[in-house]
Structure formats: structure tokens, C-alpha cells
Amino acid sequence: MEIIGKCDGLPLAIKVLGGLLCRRDRNHGVWSEILSNSTWSVDGMPQDLNYVLHLSYEDLSPHLKQCFLHYSLIPKNVVLGYDTIIGMWISEGLVLQCTKGLEELGEDYYKELIMRNLLEPSIEYVDQWHCTMHDVVRSFAHYVARDEALVVQGRQIDISNLHSQKFYRLSIQTDDEVEWNLLKEQMSLRMLISVSDIKLRPGDSLGNFSGLRILCINSSNFLPLVDSLCQLKHLRQGNMMTDLWGRWEALDRFTLNGDDDEEESNEKVERSGHICSSFGRPSELS
């Protein structure tokens, strides 16, 4: 009962703590260690974030921690299946190489996050194909990743932060149009996800993001960027689409979706020499 008391009667905290305890031996000594863990009294935690989440996070393996933080960067209204999520983890080198195949091990990571109640399978899909993340869990993950990742949602965060700090991952879901010129300053990006309209100027390209491994852009005016995709030598996964209501699907390839003229789209894709189009046959990334 002392452990439950640490949850302050919050259902989410009780669920997450249960997910942690189910991974431990059921004996008094182990549970006493959890009760006396120093994480319960860590300083600096925002008041709206529960210490149980921190305790559960600290119990994860290093690679699983990174996968958990990575998942939190997917915009809330974007539906991605576990196969695509695992592909993203692999693209960024977050899945530890071992005797198992990377996809199989990535699926183990995914299932463990579910067992720990850090991810919640959506009842709209079978076989845990798509999961959601509770807002409080997501906020905690954003807090932990704040030095390496920037998440812009609605108008909660001043996007001018892009001027003052360098990030490895950027996730944008804002009501405002995003100036591409502002994003270009983030030359260290490994992942860029945007479901906001992007304002482009003549000459704008992807050339500044030489280390980019994951690129997902949902904008009605992305075509000028396609010509520069060939400059992304490390790109492993991504999607660019003009259909705001379409579902993103990509795994170790680049898909181009939308209602644009098929001939024009394929022509741009051919010139890039680096991606595949949903209108044509996939080609391998270099």
C-alpha cells in the first residue's frame, strides 16, 4: 500500500507503476528497493509530471529509453503502424544489434513499452498495430528530451527557440505557417517531422540537412524540395505528402503521395535519383 500511496491516487501513475512492478520479481526485497528509490525525491521535476513516470523511465535499458523518447515526437494526430515506427528506430540506430534480426528486436522494444503501460494500443486497430501515448507521458518524454529535441504543438512553444539552440530532432504541428528559412539553421537534424504548411522561398532546399535520416513532411507546397533530396546521403526513411488526410506509410523508402499531376511528380522524383514514388517502383536508398 505504501507504493500505491506514492501514486497520489492518479490512475495513470498506478498503471505505469504496475507496468514496472510486473517486470520485477514478486518479493518484499525488490519492492522495498523500488519504494526507497532516490528517484522519488529527484529535484527539478515539473509539478504536472509524476515521479512514477521518471521511475519507470529510469528502469528502461538505454536503447529502450531512446525508443520511448523517439515515439513521443510523432504528432498526436498521425497514425503510424508499429512496422513504420520500428523502421524509424532502426533508421536512427536505436535498435541494438544482437543475434536477433533488427525488426524482431524492434518489435520486442515496442511490446515492452506496451507492457510497461507507456504506450496504449488503439482499440481501432488489431494486433497492437497502432498505439497512442497519454498526454502526461508524452509531456514527460518531451521534458526529458528537451536538450536534443524540439516539439512545436499548436502555439504552445515559441518557434523562435530554433534561433537559440541546436536540435537533433524536430517535430512540428502548429497552426501557423512555418518559415523554411528558420528551419535551415538546424543543420544537425537527424529527424524532421512537420504536419504544418511550410513557406518556401526561391532557392530553398534540403541541402543544409546532410545528416538527416528521417524526413516526414505533410505540406501542400513541398514539390520544390524534391529536387534536392539527392543531397541527403544518410536518408533512410521518410514521406512527403500533399493529402492532409492521408496516412503516412514508409519503411526504408521514400513515398510521394498526393493529388499532384502524376507526370510532373514522377519527373521530379526521377531527377532526384534517390527516392521512390508511390506511382512507380521503389528503388534502394544509397
pLDDT score recorded for residue 185: 83
Q: Which helix (H) or strand (E) holds 108?
A: helix 102-115
Domain boundaries, the chain: 2-35+48-132, 146-272
Q: Based on C-alpha coordinates, what's the Rg of the chain?
A: 20
pLDDT score recorded for residue 249: 39
User: Taking the CB of residue 49, how many other CB atoms lie within 10 A of it?
Assistant: 17
pLDDT score recorded for residue 86: 93
Question: What distance in Å separates the CA atoms of residue 105 and residue 111, rounded to the nearest whole number?
Answer: 10
| Mean pLDDT by groups of 10 residues along the chain of 286 residues | 70 84 73 69 64 88 95 88 91 86 93 94 88 93 92 68 84 84 87 87 88 85 81 82 43 43 46 33 29
